[in-house]
Amino acid sequence: MSTTNDRPAADRHRPVFLRRCLELLGPALEEPGATVVDCTLGLGGHSEALLEAHPQARLIGLDRDPSALRLAGERLERFGDRVTLVHAVYDELPDVLERLGTGPVRGVLFDLGVSSMQLDEAERGFAYAQDAPLDMRMDQTTGLSAAEVLNTYPPGDLVRILRAYGEEKFARKIVEAVVRRRETTPLRGSAELVALIREALPQAAMRTGGNPAKRTFQALRIEVNGELSVLERAVPAAVDTLAVGGRVVVLSYHSLEDRLVKKVLAAGAASTAPPGLPVVPEEYQPRLRLLTRGAELPDEAEVAENRRAAPARLRAAERVREARA
């Protein structure tokens, strides 16, 4: 099986919305010694550009994938002690900052979903177009694999996962096929699962919407890595770590992520005053100012340059007030 492990990180990763991320985070990073946190370091493309654009900034990079940390570390080595990399999931951000003795930060970036490296390495099991063991763990040192989820979860839980995380209309048909298969032979590989899904779905469903396994693979990946529950904790925590004038930028890749991000940022940008007050006291004023009108979408040039940008949605906000006492 071929692998891309021997390729330098810079050759394997084209960051999504790079120019826009630099534009949005830039004003917050102008003061000397400003700290920016890349909560989803991946192969370090966004981090490298931020460090180049702001020579006096410090960067803290988080990732749950040890392989990504190693490769990004090689890419960012030339920045020396301006860079601190930490093996952590992004909802652990407050604990990481406390351990490092870092106070409020000036910028936080989230580039959600599966990384280029994880998609490109067939053996990780993320890609439905390549046969590989059904793993899908972003951190392969812990947790259940996708195969274990498929082979051990009760049918009702599997249906719920496919519906909630994959928005799969034919969840019950797919799960019935999975249960029949696992009664005799456990599912182990991605090609097996793709073939099973193709057999389970009505012919009409196979003619639209791309690969019929796409939604199931997304749902399993989210379940295996606890992505939505982590994100639900992580975005409010990131807002809380921002200094006044600090900014948060979030790139999401499906509607479930984007909805969560929208909810948190919109709440922060709203007044918390009781209705009917003639004048809104300072403590009830919004904590955030939205920097994007809705979710920004990639333009044709960005998608032509990097096809993985196509589903991306970008939202950003600036911290404008301290938390209410």
Q: How many CA atoms lie within 13 A of 207 on its CB side?
A: 3
Binding-site members for S-adenosyl-L-methionine are 44-46, 63, 90, 111, 118
8 A C-beta contact, residue 38 and residue 22: no
Q: What is the pLDDT of residue 229?
A: 94
- The set of residues, in sequence order, having a beta carbon less than 8 Å from that of 294 and lying 6+ positions away, is 315
In angstroms, rounded to a whole number, what is the distance separating the alpha carbons of residues 137 and 279?
A: 51
Distance of CA 69 to the CA centre of its chain: 16
The beta strands (E) that lie in the chain are given as: 35-38, 58-63, 83-87, 105-111, 242-252, 288-290, 313-319
In angstroms, rounded to a whole number, what is the distance separating the alpha carbons of residues 214 and 281?
A: 49
In angstroms, rounded to a whole number, what is the distance separating the alpha carbons of residues 22 and 117?
A: 22
Each of the 325 residues of the chain gets a pLDDT tens digit; together they read: 333 445 554 555 679 999 999 999 999 999 899 999 999 999 999 999 999 999 999 999 999 999 899 999 999 999 999 999 999 999 999 999 999 999 899 999 999 976 555 555 555 555 666 788 999 998 888 899 999 999 999 999 999 999 999 999 999 999 999 999 999 999 999 999 999 999 998 876 665 667 888 899 999 999 999 999 999 999 999 999 999 999 999 999 999 999 999 999 999 999 877 777 777 777 778 999 999 999 999 999 999 988 888 999 999 999 999 876 5
In angstroms, rounded to a whole number, what is the distance separating the alpha carbons of residues 175 and 173?
A: 6
Element (H, E) at 47: helix 45-53
8 A C-beta contact, residue 245 and residue 28: yes
Domain with CATH 1.10.150.170 in the chain: 126-225
Is 9-117+227-319 a CATH 3.30.420.40 domain? no
Domain formed by 126-225, architecture: Orthogonal Bundle (1.10)
Q: What is the pLDDT of residue 114?
A: 66
Binding-site members are 44-46, 63, 90, 111, 118
Domain with CATH 3.40.50.150 in the chain: 9-117+227-319
Q: What is the pLDDT of residue 3?
A: 39
- The set of residues, in sequence order, having a beta carbon less than 8 Å from that of 219 and lying 6+ positions away, is 161, 162, 164, 165, 166, 168
What pTM value is reported for the model? 0.87
Q: What is the pLDDT of residue 122?
A: 52
Q: What is the pLDDT of residue 202?
A: 84
